[in-house]
Amino acid sequence: MAATRVDIGPSPKERSEQWLARMPIECYFMPMRRPHSVVFFAYEGYQLLDVTGPAAAFAWANKVLKRPAYAVHVASPSGGLVASSSGIAIQTTSLARVFARPVDTFLIAGAEISVMRDMIAGLKSRRRLRRWAESASRFGSVCSGAYILAYLGLADGKRIATHWASCSLLAELFPDVNVDSEALFAVDGRLWSSAGVTTGIDMALAMIEADVGFATADELAKLLVLYMRRPGYQSQFSTILRAQVSREAPFAELIQWMQSRLTHRLDAAALATKAKFSKRSFFRKFSQATGQTPAQFVENLRLDAARALLAGPLPLKTIAGKTGFRTRARLSSAFERRFGLLPSVFRQIHFNESR
């Protein structure tokens, strides 16, 4: 009887190569004769980390590659010193001067909505800003900078990510924009957008991977002392974070204990014993604190862990075992119920066809 071949999917290196192979060469392969030009658009009151976080990633990439692969610039409407919302000012170059040369990546920083409205109202030529953005090989936004992209009409019919606090307003003001309220960052053709603040670093790493490969981006993440490289599909709020931001977070220690024991029995009785409550009292208090029953919470913890493992080459049966579902069928059923598609399809979409 012939042995059955188990398809465990591509390795991270193979995934990177497949992803690069599908990208338009003129948009994503780095220029061979000059550094890749990265321009951040800042203005009075912008969010400092929206610029400095991703900019640091590109600058450190030069150290990893041991060559000036990226040239980072910060532009503003008129140039000169521009103060951020934190009061720290940075030197900028005028947009007209920056775009006198080819721009490969153009990213717009975010700010408070009122700040961005004032900036847009004061622009001498909005059409020129739109043309400049469109002329870049790839363009996008960090955090609430998505609002500016949408205002300029650059996000119509596109999937775009922004800070969770801005999602509802962005969708309301710009109904033609497909606002992804879950993603850490989103890629739709040449348009890249990130959810906010630190996620700009995650998006920058994804861009660097697209430009020069998985290995460089992975090494860069280590140098930046990141806890992990977060993929764009990952939710802005994990199950644990949702619980931590709830009032007083009374079950924080229990939740950490649960996370480290996903393969163990985690029914209400076992959890009540660990938390030193009666089963009935625990069920009521836990549900009030987290907005989920203990069973729902445990399943979501396991699904979050399974979704992360789908980035690697492990077979679904192994992932099911590592996350407490025990069988592939149980994992698939729970995964489809929450995310609307089977884990095998999820892996194909996010790791075979795109990021």
Distance of CA 137 to the CA centre of its chain: 20
> What does DSSP say about strands 80-83 and 89-94: parallel, antiparallel, or unpaired?
antiparallel
Q: Note the pLDDT of residue 30.
A: 56
Q: Note the pLDDT of residue 163.
A: 85
CATH numeric code, 239-353: 1.10.10.60
Fold (CATH) for 31-223: Rossmann fold (3.40.50)
Q: Note the pLDDT of residue 323.
A: 94
For residue 214 the two structure tokens come to: 């998985």
- Cβ(95)–Cβ(41) under 8 Å? yes
Among positive and negative, which fits the CA dihedral 318, 321, 324, 327? positive
- Measured between alpha carbons, how far is 229 from 112 in angstroms, rounded to an integer? 27
Q: What is the DSSP string of 222-253?
A: HHTT-S-PPPTTSBSS-HHHHHHTSTT-TTHH
Q: Note the pLDDT of residue 230.
A: 52
pLDDT in tens, 292-317: 899 988 998 898 889 888 878 899 99
Q: Note the pLDDT of residue 4.
A: 42
Other beta carbons less than 10 A from residue 278's beta carbon: 11
Entry pTM: 0.62
> What does DSSP say about strands 138-142 and 89-94: parallel, antiparallel, or unpaired?
unpaired
* 3-state DSSP assignment of residue 63: helix
> Where exactly are the structural domains of the chain?
31-223, 239-353
- Listed in sequence order, the DSSP H helices in 277-327 are 279-290, 294-309, 316-322
Q: Note the pLDDT of residue 195.
A: 85
pLDDT in tens, 48-80: 999 999 999 999 999 989 999 999 999 999 999
With a cut of 50, which residues of the chain have pLDDT below it? 1-8, 12-13, 15-29, 227-229, 231-248, 353-355
Q: Note the pLDDT of residue 51.
A: 96
How many residues in total does the chain contain?
355
Domain 31-223 and domain 239-353 have a common topology: no
- Measured between alpha carbons, how far is 255 from 18 in angstroms, rounded to an integer? 38
- Cβ(162)–Cβ(179) under 8 Å? yes
Question: How many CA atoms within 13 Å lie on the side-chain side of 49?
Answer: 12
